[in-house]
Chain A
Amino acid sequence: MAKPLIFKIGSNEYGLEPLKLERKKLYGSSEKVALDNNENECSAASLYPELSLLIPKGGTALGSVDEMGNWVEKSDMKYIYEDGSDASLVPSSFDAPIELTNTTTIDNYLEHNITSIYSMQGEENHPDFIKALQEQKDVFTFEFNYRAGYEGAPAFLIENEGEVFVLVGKKIEFEFIGLIDEGVLDNEAEEMDEEVEDEFDFSMM
């Protein structure tokens, strides 16, 4: 069994195993395939016109340089907060029980872009935990870090018909708009800029 997340409400602890929820595992998926004239599958690559170079998938890497263009190793960098102070290492959420003392409003939860979803397994062993979630008017929230790092992400506990989920997200900076804050429309052509990754499931509604 994978390592569980331990949630703590008051003096009670509840261990649940997180299982990453992916759309393709619920609904299936679709992917694009390119065929040549002989119906053989082609693979994506890149062309570097400057040197007429053909670069296969995985043939590039990302790196960091300073203002002078000198290469900088990761170990020579540090993390800072917005005020410029050095950031502290946030331990992994698996290292210690997660105390559920903070809640947030539903409106605030809706201001987060959900980037990862975990279905928590073993909730049937903790009816008290499910009851606590069901009775909560607001949403339990905590800082989540899958591995130790410098920036944890806001996470939320959602219960639906006895199933428990952890949704991890990023805060979006929505704003209230007044009459003077009118926008200007772009004047651009449409682009095909998204990959067709999955099949839409009409059964959702």
Chain B
Amino acid sequence: MKKINISNAKKRDAILGFEAKPTRAKVTQVLEDSSLKNNIKILKSTSKTDVGYLSSKYEDLEELSQAIISSEVDVDIEKSGKKIEGLKKIYVDRDNHIVFNVKMMEVIKDKDGVEQKREPLVPKPANISLENLPIAWSGKVMLKAMAIKKFAFTKHYQIRHINGLTYDFLYEMAKELDEKKGLMFVGGGAKGNEPLVVTTGGTPYRGFLEGRVDGDNYMLILHLTNLELKEFTK
């Protein structure tokens, strides 16, 4: 499990574990005899058979089309269809030459897709497992019925204890939240109000903590959202 550092209402913090729980498909695609299939990745085109590259070698697309029909220039008979694994991600320039030293930029666009600005990319650092800066217990609880109307929760993590002490810590947290029947806002940073970034370079989300108890068992879920449910027209 990955690490998360959370504090409770008494500002006691603890390093805990969290995990994304699976979603189970109700239906599976199998072969006719009900045996399982294996998914593979195959090669379709290379930099020498890609239409983008080929179009620079012919007068126009019409000529390229004829060449494809008559000579199948877009297929490398030795390599096309080959099963491939272990691909490495790289960057190439407009001439398909590998670029070894790229400068990463972040391009900000408005809701119409128009570029507003671009600046050097600075990956947002993860902030959920910082030793000296736990995710804060805000005490701000929103009733579940209201929270589900306002936000779409698109990521969820279950938080788990790693020893007896943290079991007590999390159980009490879950019990308090269960009694409040709400989702509690949690944030990162010194003031406890910054969005949560699970991994460095990842997307920031607003976090809400939900707790449930059932006898001596507990369930503590971190719901993440970055989308409000509000009026939207074309």
Q: Chain A residues in contact with chain B, CB under 8 A? A: 19, 21, 23-37, 40, 42-51, 53-56, 58-67, 72, 76-82, 84, 87, 106-107, 109-110, 113-115, 117, 119, 121, 139, 150-151, 158-161, 163, 165, 167, 170-179, 181-186, 190-194, 196-201, 204-205
Contact = CB atoms under 8 A, between A and B. Distances in A.
Given A48-B84, A54-B46, A204-B206, A110 B38 contact: no
Contacts of A25: 111, 232
Contacts of B231: 119, 163
Contacts of A196: 106, 121, 123-124, 201, 203
A167 B110 CA distance: 25
Nearest to A160: B149
Q: Which 8 A-B pairs have the closest CB atoms?
A: A192-B201, A176-B217, A194-B202, A151-B27, A170-B23, A54-B47, A42-B91, A34-B102
B47 A63 contact: no
A54 B45 CA distance: 9
B114 to A, nearest CB: 9
Contacts, number: 337
Given A77-B31, A176-B212, 8 more contacts: A46-B90, A48-B43, A59-B44, A65-B38, A178-B216, A181-B160, A185-B2, A205-B185
B109 A35 contact: no
A79 B30 CA distance: 6
B230 A197 contact: no
Given A72-B37, A172-B21, A176-B218, A55 B43 contact: yes
Interface in B204-234: 204, 206, 210, 212, 214, 216-219, 221, 223, 226-234
Contacts of B185: 205
Nearest to B185: A205
Interface of B: 1-3, 15, 17, 19, 21-32, 34-47, 50, 52-53, 79, 84, 86-94, 96, 98-99, 101-111, 113, 116, 118, 121, 123-124, 126, 144-145, 148-150, 152-156, 158, 160-164, 166-167, 185, 193, 195, 199-204, 206, 210, 212, 214, 216-219, 221, 223, 226-234
Nearest to A46: B87
B162 A183 contact: yes
A46 B90 CA distance: 6
Contacts of A35: 102-105
B41 A40 contact: no
Given A31-B109, A34-B99, A171-B23, A58 B217 contact: no
Given A160-B149, A190-B126, A204-B228, A114 B154 contact: yes
B183 to A, nearest CB: 8
B223 A110 contact: yes
B112 to A, nearest CB: 8
Contacts of B204: 200
A133 to B, nearest CB: 10
Contacts of A30: 106-109
